[in-house]
Each structure stands twice: as C-alpha cells, then as structure tokens.
Structure 1
Amino acid sequence: MSDTIDSGRGTVSRETIVLASNSASRKAMLSAAAVEFDAIAADVDERALEAGMEDAEPAEIAQALAAAKAAAVSALHPDRLVLGSDSLVEVDGRRFDKPTSREQAEEHLRFFSGRAMTLHSAAALAREGRIVWIGSDFARLVVRDLSEDFIAAYLDLEWPAVSHCVGVFRIEGPGVHLFERIMGDQYTILGMPLLPVLDALREEGALIA
C-alpha cells in the first residue's frame, strides 16, 4: 500500500523518495520538512532479526532494522531512493519492543517508572536494493515515578495508539507526562534522526542543496 504525500506548499525535493514505513510521526516529520515521499510499509520480520542479534548493542540492532526495511522496499522499487527507519528502547540493560497488549503496556510502564530510558533511532537509505547510507542517534529520557492511577488514566487516553510505539509513548501527545527530564534531539525522540537523514538525502541528490 502506498500513500502519496503532498504538502501543498512547495518542496525542497528533487525526487520523491519512498518512506519504508506507515509511521504517523515519521510521515509528519518529512511532510513538515517539505520532503516529497510515498509511504510503503516494509515487510520485515523484526523480531526474527532481533533474535539473531541477541548479543549486539541496541544501536546496532536499530541500524540493522532500519537497513532491512530500506533494503526490502528497495528490492521491490529498485529505481527509487528508499528511507528506512527504526527505534529501540533500552531501560536498565533490557530492550523493549512495542507492547502487544494493554496488559503488556502496563507492565512496561511499571518497569520504566523512576528509571532512565535510552531511545535509539536509526535510519538507512537504499537504492537498487543496496544500502547507500546508514546513521543513528540516541536520547535519554528520565521517567518520573508513575502511579497506578496515572498508568490507568494514561492508557485510557492513549491505548491502542501507543501499541505502535516503542516506549509506550507519543512525545507529541500525552506521552510527555511520563517524563521529568529529556536529553536529546526532538526528532530522534519522535522516531527518526531527521537532521542526518536530510543531510544524506542532499548528498544523494534527492533534495535541493
């Protein structure tokens, strides 16, 4: 499935790239930056890839997932420049995936309470099925002490929307209430290291330099 994005207010693009994702936040970032793109979700078994990299660093896993998504869509659209991206959350040495149920989301939030979260976001570009660029960044987010009443009220507001979010939050929405301190780039926290991505797109000739 493809979504053609038209900002309706001009563009900085020389070509329309493909975003290998249907993530609302990643679409919003590119649209706000006046980058023309089509969105085509990648068919990648993320959990299987993670299982094969059990001993790898979180940043390496995020990069591998971003590259796998870009390469998968690029193989189907070899004439297009494809952008893949992925995010991974680590708390006290434990990696967290997107919650598969509200009950699991509650468990994640209880574990996060009072702890520091490291969010790794990675991106990769592919053309003709080959990775031509890869990059990543990370942010640190300190979660405040979360009461059971807050967790219940928060998920009443945000479930199931946050089932698509590692870390069980949308920082641009009620998820901001989870944190007492944030250190890092806002775009990385939203799910993609946008400034390095834009630089790479310019290097590839996809944007006006």
Structure 2
Amino acid sequence: MSSRPTLILGSTSRYRRELLERLRLPFITVSPQVDETPLSGEAPAALACRLALAKAQAVAEQHPGAIVIGSDQVADVDGEPIGKPGTHERAVTQLQRMSGRTITFQTAVAVVRGDTQFAQTLLAPVHVRFRTLSDAEIEFYLRTEEPYDCAGSAKCETLGITLLDAIDSDDPTALIGLPLIRTSQLLRAAGLNPLEGAAP
C-alpha cells in the first residue's frame, strides 16, 4: 500500500490555509521566502505564475519528498501588476483607481514534487466589476476590514463583497487566493487525490 506523501502549503497566508483545509487533507505550512518584486515589464499573469512556482520550488528544495503548493495573486490594472497595499494610503489609491471598472485578478497555483520532478502551474483569472465607489465608502470599508494584506485591497469574503457589482470566475475560490478546482487538478496529477488519499 502506497504511503501518502507529505502535503505542504508554501504560504503563511491564513486565507490560503483556510481554503486548503476545505479539502480535508493533512498538511503543514512553510514560509517560502521568495522575493516578490516584479521584473521590469513583467505582465501581471506572468508575475503571478512565476511567483507561485517559485514559492513551491523554494519549499520543495527543502522537502524533496513532499508535494508542495505555491500560489500568488496579482491584480491587473491596465496591464500593471497591483499587489498587496500594505498601508491605508496605498489601499485608498488602489480602490479609487479600480472604482467603476472591471479588473482582472490573476491567481496562479503551482504544485511541485521534487522526488518525481513534477512541477506544474495553472492560472485562474477572475474578472471583478467594481461599483463606482465614493471616498466615504472606501474609507469606511478600509477602516472596518483593514485588507492591507490582500491584492488590490479587495477582501471579497467579508465586507469587500459590497464593493462589487459582479465576479466572473470558473474557480470560485480563486479571488480569495487559492483556486481549489485547479489545486485539486494539480494534486491529482502529482499523485495525491483528495478523494482517495495517496494514488497508487
């Protein structure tokens, strides 16, 4: 009987941890220690894919027998990558810029398994239509939610949903930060089926 490989989430994000818990697989989390600075001229989708894979590879190098998940999300505003605001002022600027517009959140997931040389990445773009927001609405939302660790300041799982008119995605958890349909697809390809445990 084959043993179940260790599953590692290469992330310290509590949002991704809570999402992965939905698959009911035992896993641990490890900080990937990856420089997330965009390359010159790098498109948002390419940045998200590169960082997701880099995070998974960084952890897999330390745990070669494990299956490692890496993920990254970048907001795409006019082709410019917009990440986590970090501060209230930057969050205000981000939301003012996205007000009344449709923004694509590029969410990438990668799975790496060092002992079999498996390494694949999938992209789950999410198209988000923001309402036209008043400065007072932006201020109230930010003071209430403090979403400074969320790409584009959009925390849709709570009050942030009221900022939006529509979300268009074929992977419902992608906007929160980990597209579970694609994650499950990659886990199966790497040899771990959430519905079966370790694949033969």
* TM-score of the aligned structures, taking structure 2 as reference length: 0.89
Secondary structure of the corresponding residue to residue 153 of structure 2:
coil
Instruction: Tell me, yes or no, if structure 1 residue 194 matches structure 2 residue 180.
Output: yes
Structure 2 equivalent of residue 137 of structure 1: 124
Percent identity, aligned pairs only, is: 34
Counterparts of 2:130 and 2:176, CA distance in 1:
16
Equivalent pair of 1:91/1:115 in contact (CA under 8 Å): no
Structure 2 equivalent of residue 86 of structure 1: 72
Instruction: Tell me, yes or no, if structure 1 residue 98 matches structure 2 residue 88.
Output: no
Structure 1 equivalent of residue 31 of structure 2: 41
| Alpha-carbon displacement from aligned partner over 1:81-132 (angstroms, at most 9, x marks no partner) | 1110001101223221111211111111111111111011111111228552
Q: Unaligned 5+ residue runs, structure 2?
A: none
Give 1:55 shift.
2.8
Secondary structure of the corresponding residue to residue 145 of structure 1:
coil
| Alpha-carbon displacement from aligned partner over 1:44-66 (angstroms, at most 9, x marks no partner) | 1101xx12xx3333222111000
Structure 2 equivalent of residue 206 of structure 1: 192
| Alpha-carbon displacement from aligned partner over 1:24-57 (angstroms, at most 9, x marks no partner) | 221111111212210111101101xx12xx3333
Structure 1 equivalent of residue 135 of structure 2: 148
Deviation larger for 109-118 or 26-35:
26-35
Amino acid at match of 1:41: S
Counterparts of 1:93 and 1:80, CA distance in 2:
35
The count of aligned residue pairs is: 191
Counterparts of 2:109 and 2:118, CA distance in 1:
11
Secondary structure of the corresponding residue to residue 186 of structure 1:
coil
Give 1:135 shift.
0.9
Amino acid at match of 2:125: F
Q: Unaligned 5+ residue runs, structure 1?
A: 1-12
